Amino acid sequence: MNKSVLVVYSCYNPPTSLIDSIQSIYDKIDGCKSTPKIICVDNDSNLLTTYDVVKNQFPDVEIIFAKNKNYEWGAWKYAYDNFPGYDLYFCLQDTIIFEYTFDINLIEDNSPYTIFHSGGFKLMGRGFSPQDLLNHKMFKQNINFDDLVDEDFIICQHNTLLITDYDLNKLFEFFNNPPTNKIDTEMCERVFGAYFIKTKHKRRVLNPYIKKINKEDRIFITKK
């Protein structure tokens, strides 16, 4: 069954990889009922030149200057609240590019695609003790994660989700402490992963379909 898709990018000072990523959506995503709707939710950027290229090359892409302060979670929530009714939501950073054809009909309720990475809370790299983590506001959600504080598990790397409307709605019902800084976004990757474990979602691996542009490889357009 063909499905409708909303692709939402969380963007901050977007590099040129955003252009390549959008093109990859048009080239590599299969099984859609119609051309995917694509929006870019801007996280209060001060470098906007890549958007000029996007507007010229992809006039149907909507750029939304929402001054989002809640990072990926805020972009996903804005999209869900303001663009309801899609069967599927692709929640992407602006540095993720599809390299291989992806059939959207593989995405089902209780079985989202995420980027797999083994990590867990203790590997955040911030020197948090178990007690620090237990006291962290991002750890205090609607599901108890205390038993995972010292465990390695598969996180939701880059907070990337290919997910059904049903599952995204359930995720927002659960997640009640959104991130407000960069450290919180690292915690968010883990909270998402822990949530899927606790709720027994059968996550599927997005890694083979995409490539991620590393920080040191990003290219920015600057005006002369």
Handedness of CA 132, 175, 33, 62 (dihedral sign): negative
204 assigned to some structural domain = yes
Whether residue 88 is contained in a domain is answered as yes
Residues 6+ positions from 190 with CB-CB distance below 8 Å: 119, 120, 121, 124, 155, 156
pLDDT of residue 1: 67
Which amino acid would we find at residue 2? N
Residue 223 lies in a domain: no
Range of the domain at 157: 5-215
Give me the pLDDT at residue 139, please: 80
Residue 54 pLDDT > 90:
yes
Question: Looking at the DSSP assignment, which residues form a beta bridge with residue 3?
Answer: 32
Has residue 51 been placed in a domain?
yes
Share of the chain above pLDDT 90, in %: 75
* Least confident stretch, 54-63, 183-192, 207-216: 183-192
Is 199 within a domain? yes
Residue 129 · residue 120 · CB < 8 Å: no
Whether residue 221 is contained in a domain is answered as: no
Residue 10 lies in a domain: yes
**Nearest residue to 2 via CA among 130, 103, 117, 144:** 103
Mind spelling out the 3-state secondary structure of 126-189? CCCCHHHHHHCHHHCCCCCCHHHCCCCCEEEEEEEEEEEHHHHHHHHHHCCCCCCCHHHHHHHH
Number of domains making up the chain: 1
pTM for the full model? 0.95
- Mean pLDDT computed over 15-43: 96
In a domain, 50, yes or no: yes
pLDDT of residue 160: 98
- Pick left, alpha or beta for residue 110 (phi over 0 → left; psi -120 to 50 → alpha; otherwise beta): left
The CATH number that applies at residue 165 is: 3.90.550
